């Protein structure tokens, strides 16, 4: 496959994954499908959601490079060695954005959601309720294994309802989409390098 055609394929492929990443991150702002919690985001929304890794990292920082990368596969000003060189830089931006989105999603999953939960205060011996991150705390019941592997723990949060499963599913989607864009952008960096050295094959006989 010519480097130009490869760039066009990669550029087009990046679009859906960047959109999926953006949409998933935006949905994460509305746990239990309610707008109530976004009114107090610092306390009631999972911090990694507010990092906007899916919107900024896996979204905007991938979508913008995708436009140029695709352009290098079409006849025009970008379909040449210079355009391929620039595609390396844009692809590197896409790699950085994908890594940011991927890291945010991993942290969001591992540390668990922000929620309202009830626990036993060992000092007072009383049941207390608070907003926090029960799966990323000093609560003894969550010290042995990750909540990710124990579905029974997902109901520990009282509000928002089903927030643990909600976060896991959507963060998994962001993680998957950013992982794919990371691979595609990395391939484009290599493809762009070959394009600089060998041309884009935009003509039948190749580019001199």
Decide if 62 contacts 97 (C-beta within 8 A): yes
Global pTM value: 0.89
Q: Under DSSP, is residue 25 helix (H, G, I), strand (E, B) or coil?
A: helix
Least confident span in 13-22, 40-49, 77-86, 104-113: 77-86
Per-residue model confidence (pLDDT) at position 208? 35
- 125 pLDDT band, cuts 50/70/90, is confident
Per-residue model confidence (pLDDT) at position 204? 45
Query: In 71-80, which positions are buried (b, 16+ CB within 10 angstroms) versus exposed (e)?
Result: bbbeeeebbb
Q: Identify the residue with better confidence: 55 or 1.
A: 55
Residues 91-104 pLDDT 10s: 999 999 999 999 99
Averaged pLDDT, 127-136: 91
Distance CA 68, CA 10 (A): 11
- 122 pLDDT band, cuts 50/70/90, is confident
How high does pLDDT run on average in the chain? 89
């Amino acid at each position: 496959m010519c480097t130009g055609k490869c760039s066009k394929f990669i550029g087009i492929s990046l679009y859906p994954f960047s959109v999926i990443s953006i949409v998933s991150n935006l949905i994460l702002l509305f746990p239990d499908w309610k707008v109530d919690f976004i009114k107090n985001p610092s306390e009631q929304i999972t911090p990694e959601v507010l990092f906007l890794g899916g919107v900024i990292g896996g979204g905007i920082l991938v979508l913008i490079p995708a436009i140029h990368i695709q352009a290098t596969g079409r006849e025009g000003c970008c379909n040449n060695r210079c355009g391929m060189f620039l595609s390396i830089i844009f692809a590197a931006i896409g790699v950085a954005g994908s890594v940011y989105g991927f890291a945010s999603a991993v942290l969001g999953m591992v540390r668990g959601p922000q929620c309202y939960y009830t626990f036993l205060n060992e000092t007072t011996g009383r049941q207390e309720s608070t907003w926090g991150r029960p799966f990323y705390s000093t609560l003894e019941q969550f010290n042995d294994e990750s909540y990710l592997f124990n579905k029974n723990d997902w109901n520990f949060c009282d509000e928002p309802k089903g927030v643990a499963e909600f976060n896991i599913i959507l963060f998994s989607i962001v993680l998957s989409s950013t992982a794919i864009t990371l691979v595609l952008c990395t391939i484009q960096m290599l493809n762009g390098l070959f394009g600089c050295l060998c041309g884009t094959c935009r003509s039948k006989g190749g580019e001199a």
